[in-house]
Structure 1
Amino acid sequence: MNAPLYNKDILRLAASIPHHQRLPDPQASVEKRSPTCGSRVTADVQMTGGRLSDMGLDVKACALGQASAALMAGHAIGLTADELADARDKLAAYLAGTSEDLAFWPGLAVLAPARGYPARHASIRLGFEAIADAARQADA
């Protein structure tokens, strides 16, 4: 394992994904897959009053994708579809090198070493993309 990418904090997050059960009756479900590595995240959501009220995740990804999904799931409840889409877009901008901002989401600094590994970016974005897209569908 590459120490800068796969450290204890990443592995701890990867092993503790909140909301790791699919919802029995979601308002929307979205599956996102990385063509680079085959990682996959399926997100089920319930929206109440325009805010994410419940989610369920099925995460089949590398440790970085799992850690990112854990960070997303740990702080997404209560946010609007627009706020979730904004977080998705900010994460993509950070990974692409067009932004230095990581303060938009708690805990993301742990993923900073992966910025230099573009082949890992798609997996890292999956959880944010799936939840943002599912919330948008459910809110429509």
Structure 2
Amino acid sequence: MIDDLYSARLLKLAANLPHSGRLAAPHASSEKISKLCGSRVVVDVTIDGDRVADFAQDVKACALGQASAAVLGAHVIGASLEEIETARDAFRAMLKAGGAAPSGRFADIAMLEPVKDYPARHASTLLAFEAAAAAVREAMERRY
């Protein structure tokens, strides 16, 4: 049911996007766009060692994409590339194959589990995690 998708908690999260905007001097950036709906996420990161030191995101997406970005933004500082990619992969499996929600620092993504019943929403819901993983990977590769 659509009401399960747009819960009060999800809408509150979507309205309060952490780290909104752009970084002045990112180590790397990544832009991801959903071809189906046009949602767009741009992520900027700086890294310190193998961890995210600073993060910003410019999100032009539906409430589902914004909620996903809010979970990411709330927990990404201090995360490693492995943590972000593991969460992204678990999130994708949760939506597309009925897998378990991500655990650890990104466990709040479980609130988006009802999206699995709406395949047209999967791409926009995953954008922030895909952009973050790509930006951190690029920053790590540039460093070495």
Supply the distance in 2 between the matched residues of 1:38 and 1:110 (Cα, whole angstroms).
23
C-alpha displacement of 1:112: 1.2
> What is the RMSD of the two structures over their aligned residues, measured on CA atoms?
1.4
TM-score w.r.t. length of structure 2: 0.92
CA offsets 1:103-123 (integer angstroms, 9 cap, x no match): 342212211111100100001
C-alpha displacement of 1:49: 1.1
Supply the distance in 1 between the matched residues of 2:132 and 2:95 (Cα, whole angstroms).
18
Question: Would you say the 8 A contact 1:85–1:133 is kept in 2?
Answer: no
Question: Would you say the 8 A contact 2:30–2:132 is kept in 1?
Answer: yes
Q: Kindly provide the amino acid, as one letter, of the partner of residue 117 in structure 2.
A: G
* Residue in structure 1 matched with residue 108 of structure 2 by the alignment: 107
Supply the distance in 2 between the matched residues of 1:62 and 1:22 (Cα, whole angstroms).
19
Higher helix content, 1 or 2? 2
* Residue in structure 1 matched with residue 53 of structure 2 by the alignment: 53
Describe how 1:1-140 pairs up with structure 2 within 5 A. Answer: 2-104=2-104, 105-140=106-141
TM-score w.r.t. length of structure 1: 0.94
C-alpha displacement of 1:5: 1.3
Structure 2 gaps, min length 5 = none
Q: Kindly provide the amino acid, as one letter, of the partner of residue 46 in structure 2.
A: Q
Supply the distance in 2 between the matched residues of 1:13 and 1:52 (Cα, whole angstroms).
22
C-alpha displacement of 1:137: 0.3
Secondary structure, aligned partner of 1:79: coil
Q: Kindly provide the amino acid, as one letter, of the partner of residue 111 in structure 2.
A: V
Secondary structure, aligned partner of 1:59: strand
CA offsets 1:40-96 (integer angstroms, 9 cap, x no match): 000000000110000110000000000000001111111111221111111111111
Q: Percent identity?
A: 47
